[in-house]
Amino acid sequence: MKRISILLLVVFMSMGVCAQQYTRGNISMGLTVSLNSTRLLNDTVHYNRTLLPGAGVDFYSSLSKSLKINFGAQVSMKGTNDFDTLGDLRGFYLEPHIALQFIPIKKLRLEGGVQYSHVVAGRTITLAGDASSGTKWHDYQGLRSPMEYFVGLHAELDRRVHFGLRYYIPHKRTEFNRLEIRAIILMIEGYTKR
């Protein structure tokens, strides 16, 4: 958790520096909250889907009238429930990404991109038989930092609130795939460097 706090501090400090160096123009910035429906792809392991949260920051820049580039980072949880041998599994990830967005009609964007999911920590939750909490958390070192590809769509509900769906496909079959529901709130609209 200490590493996550330090990485978040660095991201938010760099956002402040970026905001001070930009004036009205081409780059927009939004805060993102998400829910991830994750599952483990290994068919030999029993798993159940679970919904886990994520949060981050996204930047958008127009390349042309119908093309945008999106880059940013988020902190996400991935995992499974009722994991046969370990209990519930939770992974905490820092995920920088870059995507190209195509705008076929106004207020709708289709996107495709790549993301690196850097594992920060892994935990398992098992039944402890303890009357006070009933569960116990254990460190888990078996998670890897995978490269992921994603496709999705991004719709503007109004000028400042956007909604998105992304489907992530891992580079290796033993990692997580997931469907992510995203809400983006634009904090800074259309800024470009001085």
Q: Are 138 and 90 in contact (CB under 8 A)?
A: no
- 178, exposed or middle or buried, with CB in 10 Å at 0-12, 13-18, 19+? buried
DSSP 24: E
Q: Where residue 23 falls among pLDDT bands split at 50, 70, 90?
A: very low
Q: For residue 21, what pLDDT is reported?
A: 44
Most confident of 48-52, 74-78, 95-99: 95-99
pLDDT confidence of residue 38: 76
Q: Environment class of residue 105 by beta-carbon count within 10 Å: exposed (0-12), middle (13-18) or buried (19+)?
A: exposed
pLDDT tops 60 at residue 192: no
pLDDT digits (tens, 9 = 90+) for 101-126: 999 998 999 999 999 989 888 877 77
Please say whether the dihedral angle defined by the alpha carbons of residues 194, 73, 54 and 123, taken in this order, is positive or negative.
negative
pLDDT of residue 32: 94
Structural domains of the chain in order of their starting residue, each with its CATH number: 2-193 (2.40.160.20)
Token match 């998105």: residue?
164
pLDDT digits 0-9 by tens, 34-67? 998 876 555 555 567 788 899 999 999 988 889 9
User: What is the token pair recorded at 58?
Assistant: 């996204």
Q: Is pLDDT larger for residue 152 or for residue 52?
A: 152
| Residues 109 and 103 sit within 8 Å (Cβ to Cβ) | yes
Distance, in Å, from the CA atom of 89 to the CA atom of 37, rounded to the nearest integer, reads 14
CA nearest 143: which of 49, 77, 47?
A: 77
Question: How many Cβ atoms sit within 10 Å of the Cβ of residue 153?
Answer: 14
Give the type of residue at 137: W
Average pLDDT of the chain is 78
